Amino acid sequence: MAIFGILFLGVALVLIGAGIALGLAAIGAAAALISLGVLSSSVLIGLRAGRTESGIRAFLIQCGILAGIPAGAICAWALKHFSAQIGDGWVIPAYGALGGALAGLCLALLLDALSRRTHAWATKQLAKTHLFSSDSQRPL
């Protein structure tokens, strides 16, 4: 019986540690987004447009570009080390960063289109169940 208690305690400590690590990573990511102005500019765009979807779209695009830049630069740098035909210099990571930014932008636009389609589908499905009906005499 004591072995099960010790095993349970070990699993619980690992899960608590993983939760704390993920929480600290989320706090770090939120701090980076706030310091870069991504969150504030997305909120400002949403408020100026008067639509939440505009703010979400701006957030997705900015995050896609910011995530794509280092990913592209690292991929180009790694490709440079595996291929002898590519020259040296700072141009390779710069082109990789540009390619990564474009790939991040494409991915962000795809996620935006997917979220719009999902929102339209969910609204249509909820309208079928009469949850958003303006007739207040109908039962839910």
pLDDT digits 0-9 by tens, 69-87: 888 888 888 777 776 666 6
Question: pTM for the complete prediction?
Answer: 0.64
**How far apart are alpha carbons 26 and 106 in whole angstroms?**
24
Mean pLDDT, range 109-113, rounded to an integer: 89
Tell me what pLDDT residue 73 has: 84
Tell me what pLDDT residue 123 has: 87
The DSSP line for 18-68 is: HHHHHHHHHHHHHHHHHHHTHHHHHHHHHHHHT-HHHHHHHHHHHHHHHHH
pLDDT digits 0-9 by tens, 27-54: 888 888 888 888 889 999 999 999 888 8
Residue 105 identity: L
Query: Domain residues of the chain, as ranges?
Result: 52-121
On the question of pLDDT at 63 being above 60, the answer is yes
pLDDT digits 0-9 by tens, 1-27: 788 888 898 999 999 999 999 999 998
